[in-house]
């Protein structure tokens, strides 16, 4: 006796539907690859069909290395998605970033905490973005930030205390963590007139910084699936429940903001500027918009500064002649009565020409921004060099690709050479230096980053010798929305003349 399962014949209508669906999918894929005006642009095969190729490399954290490799293989233009082309042509920054082109849809991900609350970062239209940014820019001015320099110095002093302790005990130190603690706390000082306490404790309180790393990966990917992000995460229900991915950082900032509002004697910090703007134009700036911008400012200020400081120290100790030359420059300044405070002042740091050149070179070699700066070709299309791009093409410029371009930086573009910033017309080099972006979407926190970088870098060179525990070890770095290297522990040695000062 044999058993058999009862079966029903497959309905012809289902077969027809499946065939139509498959035909449509194949036709759509073929259209994307061959009929969007980008068929001649080289790039990964699967990237011409689907965005998933790019998303995969963001997920595993090597999309910056892929971009650099692809441009070295294919040249100025690489197709990295069905409707997106990565550009490394020397004219690219001027034509794409300095023009008032609409930003790519990916930027919508910066609507915080959900789609209802636009920020300058999430605003796509150039003119609307400029108008929205003006509501916040006064708080980020250098003159305003310098009013809090003594408070940044207090946090930097805590960093130096930890370095002194590790030096005294000859313990390996993970600078990446302590740089992040310092940057996070100084962002709190700049925005809210209060430190979060990370560097004082020397630990990641409540996993806030670690959580931002996971958020980095999520935002990098979710920006390409914005409809799904809104459906599942960035909607009023999830905001009310407080379980959105950016919720931890948002709650941290919101708590700090509430505490700041309750302190009428606080100094005139970034929040004070925004509250004054809100009072003058209450219909243009809501409480939630202030909360959103404060959240983004704090989140962006930690990892980016940590990466830049790590890049400086990492490359400088790999090239000890640069460290010695920078220290000699500081010694000359000390002989003239400058650079004598425990934390070198911003004013004094700006006179250290070679130190500044080393900072620029470190960020050129490896900066915190691995994501393509995306703009959309306008009606009528756009021409770069001898290549035409039709209307609607997303054109992106990856800072790390541009800053390794031999066309822009010369045949030694992949080599460490701080002197490149000291010869010729230095201003011309900055048109390819995209660490802070360019044009109307330039990073508003640039002055705060430069202020801290200059002070910390100069002080470390003056006061310490730093070497890797294993000189052959290379740092580990996963690049998502930002770059945050890690896993290159160092030994700290304090200079004897510093101990006597």
Fold of 41-500: Cytochrome p450 (1.10.630)
The answer to whether the annotation marks 443 as part of a ligand binding site is yes
How far is the CA of 487 from the CAs of 179, 182, 203, 470, 476, in angstroms? 13, 18, 16, 11, 6
**Burial call 82-111: b when 16+ CB within 10 Å, e when fewer:** bbbbbbbbeebbebbbeeebbbbebbbbbb
Q: Angle CA(66)–CA(306)–CA(184) in degrees, nearest 5?
A: 130
The residue whose two tokens read 């999309």 is 63
Of 404, 401, 426, nearest in space to 414 by CA: 404
Q: What is the pTM of this model?
A: 0.89
- Sequence-separated (6 or more) residues with CB below 8 Å from residue 176: 306, 310, 484, 485, 486, 487, 488
Confidence at residue 79, expressed as pLDDT on a 0 to 100 scale:
96
Residue whose C-alpha is closest to residue 189's, from 294, 269, 289: 269
**SS3 label, residue 216:** helix
Q: What is the pLDDT of residue 500?
A: 47
3-state secondary structure of 18: helix
What is the rounded CA–CA span in Å between residue 152 and residue 454? 12
Structure tokens at 155: 């946090």
Domain ranges for the chain, please list them: 41-500
Pairwise CA distance, residues 81 & 44, whole Å = 9
As a whole number of angstroms, the distance between CA 167 and CA 174 comes to 12
- Give average pLDDT by consecutive 10-residue segment, the chain, 501 residues: 52 63 56 67 91 93 93 95 95 95 94 84 94 88 91 96 96 94 91 89 84 82 91 82 62 74 78 86 83 80 87 96 97 96 97 96 92 95 95 95 92 94 78 91 91 97 96 88 88 76 51
């Amino acid at each position: 006796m044999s058993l058999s399962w009862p079966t029903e014949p497959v309905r012809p209508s289902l077969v027809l539907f499946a065939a139509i669906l498959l035909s449509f999918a194949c036709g759509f894929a073929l259209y994307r690859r061959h009929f969007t005006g980008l068929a001649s642009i080289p790039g990964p095969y699967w990237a011409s069909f689907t965005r998933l190729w790019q998303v995969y490399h963001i997920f595993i954290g090597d999309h910056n290395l892929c971009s650099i490799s692809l441009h070295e293989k294919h040249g100025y233009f690489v197709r990295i998605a069905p409707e997106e082309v990565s550009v490394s042509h020397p004219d690219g920054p001027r034509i794409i970033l300095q023009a008032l082109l609409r930003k790519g849809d990916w930027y919508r991900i910066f609507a915080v905490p959900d789609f209802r609350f636009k920020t300058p970062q999430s605003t796509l239209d150039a003119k609307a973005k400029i108008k929205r940014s003006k509501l916040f820019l006064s708080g980020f001015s250098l003159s305003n930030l310098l009013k809090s320099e003594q408070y940044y110095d207090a946090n930097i002093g805590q960093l130096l205390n930890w370095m002194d302790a590790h030096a005294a005990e000859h313990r390996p130190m993970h600078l990446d963590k302590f740089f992040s603690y310092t940057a996070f706390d100084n962002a709190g000082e700049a925005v809210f007139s209060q430190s979060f306490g990370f560097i004082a404790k020397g630990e990641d309180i409540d996993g806030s910084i670690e959580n931002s790393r996971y958020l980095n990966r999520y935002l990098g990917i979710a920006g390409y699936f914005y409809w799904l992000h809104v459906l599942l995460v960035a909607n009023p229900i999830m905001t009310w429940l407080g379980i959105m991915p950016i919720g931890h950082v948002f709650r941290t900032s919101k708590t700090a903001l509430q505490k700041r509002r309750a302190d009428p004697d606080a100094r005139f910090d970034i929040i004070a500027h925004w509250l004054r703007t809100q009072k003058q134009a209450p219909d243009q700036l809501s409480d939630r918009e202030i909360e959103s911008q404060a959240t983004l400012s704090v989140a962006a200020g930690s990892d980016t500064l940590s990466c830049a400081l790590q890049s400086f120290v990492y490359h400088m100790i790999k090239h000890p002649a640069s460290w010695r030359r920078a220290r000699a420059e500081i010694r000359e300044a000390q002989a003239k009565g400058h650079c004598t405070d425990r934390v070198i002042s911003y004013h004094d740091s700006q006179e250290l020409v070679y130190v500044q050149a080393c900072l620029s070179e470190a960020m050129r070699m490896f900066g915190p921004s691995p994501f393509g700066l995306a703009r959309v070709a306008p009606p009528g299309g756009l021409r770069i060099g001898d290549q035409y791009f039709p209307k609607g093409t997303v054109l992106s410029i990856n800072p790390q690709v541009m800053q390794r371009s031999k066309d822009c930086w010369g045949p030694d573009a992949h080599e460490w050479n701080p002197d490149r910033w000291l010869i010729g017309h230095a201003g011309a080099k900055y048109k390819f230096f995209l660490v802070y972006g360019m044009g109307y979407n330039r990073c508003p926190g640039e002055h705060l980053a430069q202020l801290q970088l200059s002070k910390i870098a100069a002080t470390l060179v003056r006061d310490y010798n730093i070497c890797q525990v294993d000189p052959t070890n290379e740092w580990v770095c996963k690049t998502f929305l930002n770059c945050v290297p890690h896993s290159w522990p160092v030994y700290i040695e304090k200079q004897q003349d510093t101990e006597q000062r």
